[in-house]
């Protein structure tokens, strides 16, 4: 396990905490993968797609609330979400290249996810807690 979700990581909204817990779960599946199925490129791509698809869903819910509550950092936050997909897609493309050493790229992905977890989830996401709670969303 590279990442663990604890109460300290809470954004103060149950639905969104559950999303984050699920994202941590998928990231940890990816970490376990690097220690076991290192040769199965398709399985790896499948896991990455699961992560990207769930992130897409999760970001769309956050952004729905931003609009609903007229959140002040909507632009900056939405840009970060867009950047996440650009970066993840570039990494997935690298892994899909049959000539690539994809096990190396997997570590890049894990590094990137760890960084995302620290800087987006535990910093940018937490900034919406006040606005969301003030609007009755817990």
- Binding residues for Fe ion, per CB under 5 A? 62, 125
Closest CB 51 distance from Fe ion, rounded Å:
13
Nearer to Fe ion, 7 or 42 (CB): 7
Nearer to Fe ion, 41 or 69 (CB): 69
Which pair of structure tokens corresponds to residue 11? 């954004």
Buried b (16+ CB within 10 A) or exposed e, 122-132: eebbeebbebb
Residue nearest to Fe ion (CB): 125
Closest CB 32 distance from Fe ion, rounded Å:
22
DSSP-derived secondary structure for 101-136: -HHHHHHHHHHHHHHHIIIIIIIIGGGGHHHHHHTT
Angle in degrees, 0-180, between the axes of helices 74-96 and 41-68, rounded to the nearest 10:
170
**Residue 18: strand, helix, or coil:** helix
Closest CB 10 distance from Fe ion, rounded Å:
12
**Region of residue 70 (left: phi > 0; alpha: psi -120 to 50; beta: else):** left
Nearer to Fe ion, 27 or 62 (CB): 62
Closest CB 124 distance from Fe ion, rounded Å:
6
Nearer to Fe ion, 65 or 125 (CB): 125
């Amino acid at each position: 396990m590279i990442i663990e979700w604890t109460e300290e990581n809470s954004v103060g909204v149950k639905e969104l905490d559950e999303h984050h817990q699920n994202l941590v779960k998928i990231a940890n599946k990816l970490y376990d993968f690097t220690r076991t199925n290192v040769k199965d490129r398709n399985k790896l791509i499948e896991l990455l797609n699961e992560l990207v698809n769930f992130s897409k869903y999760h970001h769309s819910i956050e952004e729905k609330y931003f609009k609903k509550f007229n959140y002040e950092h909507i632009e900056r936050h939405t840009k970060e979400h867009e950047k996440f997909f650009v970066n993840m897609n570039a990494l997935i493309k690298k892994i899909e290249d049959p000539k690539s050493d994809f096990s190396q790229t997997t570590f890049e992905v894990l590094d990137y996810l760890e960084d995302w977890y620290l800087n987006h989830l535990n910093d940018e996401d937490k900034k919406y807690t006040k606005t969301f709670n003030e609007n009755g969303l817990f």
